[in-house]
Structure 1
Amino acid sequence: MGAYGLLSNGPVYKLPLSYYLNLFTSEYQTCPNFLSWAAASWQPIDDLTSLLSTMPQNFNLNSAVGVQLDTIGAIIGVSRTVNFQPSNGVSPVLNDVVYKQLLQATIGINKWDGRLVSIYDIWKSVFSSGEIVVNDNQNMTCTIIIAGVFSSIVLDLITNGYIIPRPQGVEYTYTTAPLPIFGADLNNAYVAGADLGHAF
């Protein structure tokens, strides 16, 4: 019914209605009318707790799809439909993959502590590949260098301010860099040193 517990590995379990009916003392176990009355009275509560027990999984951002994502978006405050016309004739209504990235970014932005280093943490929580470089120009402007392979709609979301948090009054300039970009102390698909990395 309404009782929950934790298994050894962590997930929540719910005790069945029959467990509670069996808690009645022996003199009531031989009264079918009483047991039927108790079961009928408690069944709505059991149904409700069963529903509530599924809510965390049904609205887990990692596994949610379709209307589940729309509901999460309504809670977070970001719509599946963006308020600009994307480039290349792409629909302003985001598919599940891109919308999930937008939701993840919005969660990060809502929790952003204002530090530059935290921008990189938000980026990594949204994208499994690609890199950004945030250059603070010390004059209330920042240059954001984007390196990686992204769809046009994702680039549109980035350059329209949907993905990277921006302090009030700071102007962002976005630019894309050919891969790999030039850098020191790192050598991978996105950043490489002399004779390999591209200047931007």
Structure 2
Amino acid sequence: MKFVSLNTENKVGNVIENIVNQTSKLDQFVYTTAEGEYGVLSGFQVGYCVGEDNLDPDTVTPQVVADYLKPYKIEELKEQCNLIVASGFEYTNGDKFLYGTDQQNDFSQKQILLLLNPALTTVQVQTKNNGIKKYTRQEFINLVTYANEFKDQLMQRLDDLIQKINETEYSDVQELRNLTFIEDVSILMPDAE
């Protein structure tokens, strides 16, 4: 395999040949060559791509680099989305909730408990800012609905970005690199009921 990076003039900046093992990320490339050379590259001015040994470095354009980096940008955006979901939300009554996998499971278990036990009128919920609070059946249903809308909107934003990345022909790698999951999380908060 062959590594080719571009410099700020979109010219070939670095070529590494005979790569036998590599790990690619958006801003990092780790490799081992057939000769036993090991390296970690990062801080790319523009970006890089990896291709077959017969890859002609002069054919590497910003478009080629952007196409190579698209999956790594998508992974970065997925990580950003998951962090925002896990960091949680503020409910309409001022209670704040984490919403990582454990909290989502807890919400689901409490929903099932309410469904299986109609005599149950309240459930306890752990908040970030007000400790453990009791929610009535209807209050909890409203909370779960809000939480699901919060997550659904974030997942829709991620899906929209992935679609945009996959459909865009980037002639400037920086345009791809500059995409962020969201600048202002508050625009994704569900409307108050």
| Alignment TM-score > 0.5, same fold | no
The TM tier, using the shorter chain, reads under 0.3
Query: Per residue, is there more strand in 1 or in 2?
Result: 2
Radius of gyration: which is bigger? Answer: 1
TM-score by length of 2: 0.26
TM-score of the aligned structures, taking structure 1 as reference length: 0.26
Greater relative CO (CA pairs within 8 A, separation 6+) = 2
